[in-house]
Amino acid sequence: MASEVALAVLLAIVAGLLTRSFDQLRNLSPGFSAEQVVSARLSPPAAVYGGANTARASAFYEMVIERMSATPGVSAVGIVDRLPIAAPVFGIRVRIQGQFEDGTRLLPLANHAQLITPGYLRALGIPVLRGRSIGDGDRAGAPPVALVSQSFARRSWPGDDPIGKRIGYPYPSPWITVVGVVPDVKLDSLRDTSAVAVLLPFAQRSRIAPAEMSIVVRSNADPEAIARQLRDVVSSMAGAATGCVVALATTRLLASLLYDVSPTDPLTFGTAIGLFVGVAIVASAGPARRATRADPVETLRGA
């Protein structure tokens, strides 16, 4: 009987601790809002968009963002290389102008670094506390910029304004100007206490394009309808990409039959891709609009 009582007390204590822990985590703010948000992992063909094909990858993601932004009910669309909570967000060591400018000392670690597009913060409901967000003008060739978290700003420039300060990659590279400060966000998990983060424009990335990215869509429409629209958009484009790969291989056979036109003529390729993408937009716009206007209650009753 004593053993049974001891076991019962143990189970009661364990259950109580787990319940309290779950309640604490449920009430914990991660620093972003996941309500009315649909996210997905995008894996474009590496043969077309991977490796050093950074410009092509940027064009692909920009087109996905443009088409999803035009979907009825969608208020914000963004792309990120590492989605919070869903995957570990790796960090980088950074140079800080005036403090850590070279490799003579161990550079400070930014525990998390993310590549994002301009709509990412709005899609996850992350405010900009100071300065500005990343914008459409922060592209390749423009002055490099970055956002930093509150913890990063406090650690690096205590008591000073971080806007206008400059950081850099841990290797010889142009200085990056801090243009905004964002709240500390839970990235690796809800237990994440390492909120020192740097957010960089995807269009200004200095390293090889990631093979995969995540898209975040904020919408007041039916999540399943938005997910279907997203699948249709990506499928119609991952198909255009396959066609390009085959075309690049086969059009070279026509070189001897062409006059003053390259087998890889960008105008011809761009027109063909634009034609089929346009057809896909027109074909999917009607069903997507009808789906977003459908009454969920009537749909459930019919099911």
pLDDT tens-digit map of 34-93: 888 988 888 877 766 666 667 777 788 888 899 999 988 899 999 998 888 877 788 889
Q: Do 120 and 187 share a structural domain? A: yes
Considering 63-72, 198-207, 229-238, the range whose residues carry the highest mean pLDDT is 63-72
Helix-helix angle 54-69:223-250, to 10 degrees:
140
What count of other Cβ atoms lies within 10 Å of the Cβ of residue 197?
23
Mean pLDDT across the stretch 156-163?
94
Helical segments of the chain, H only: 2-26, 46-49, 54-69, 120-123, 150-156, 223-250, 266-293, 296-302
Q: Do 99 and 130 share a structural domain? A: yes
Residue 103's pLDDT is 66
Domain assignment present for residue 7? The answer is no
Mean pLDDT across the stretch 13-42?
75
Residue 86's pLDDT is 78
Q: Do 207 and 152 share a structural domain? A: yes
Residue 247's pLDDT is 46
Residue 257's pLDDT is 46
* Averaged pLDDT of the chain: 78
Question: 43 versus 14: which is more confidently predicted?
Answer: 43
Q: Report how far residue 204's alpha carbon sits from residue 115's, in angstroms, rounded to the nearest whole number.
A: 9
Query: Phi-psi bin for 70: left (phi > 0), alpha (psi -120 to 50), beta?
Result: alpha
Q: Do 100 and 238 share a structural domain? A: no
Question: 188 versus 258: which is more confidently predicted?
Answer: 188
Q: Mention every residue, 6+ apart, whose C-beta is less than 8 A from residue 196.
A: 91, 109, 110, 111, 112, 149, 151, 152, 155
Q: Do 141 and 86 share a structural domain? A: yes
Q: Residue 192 is part of which domain span?
A: 37-54+75-216
Tell me how far CA of residue 162 lies from CA of 12, 227, 245, 267, in angstroms: 50, 39, 46, 45
How many independent structural domains does the chain possess? 2
Q: Mention every residue, 6+ apart, whose C-beta is less than 8 A from residue 14.
A: none
Last residue of a domain, one of 216, 240, 272: 216
Q: Do 142 and 45 share a structural domain? A: yes
pLDDT exceeds 70 at position 108: yes
Residue 293's pLDDT is 61
Last residue of a domain, one of 162, 196, 216: 216
The closest of 196, 131, 189 to 164, measured between CA atoms, is 131
pLDDT exceeds 90 at position 138: yes
Q: Do 289 and 269 share a structural domain? A: yes
Q: Do 192 and 133 share a structural domain? A: yes
Q: Do 47 and 171 share a structural domain? A: yes
Domain assignment present for residue 22? The answer is no
Residue 244's pLDDT is 46
Domain assignment present for residue 254? The answer is yes
- Percent of the chain exceeding pLDDT 90 equals 29
The closest of 192, 215, 58 to 123, measured between CA atoms, is 215
Q: Do 159 and 228 share a structural domain? A: no
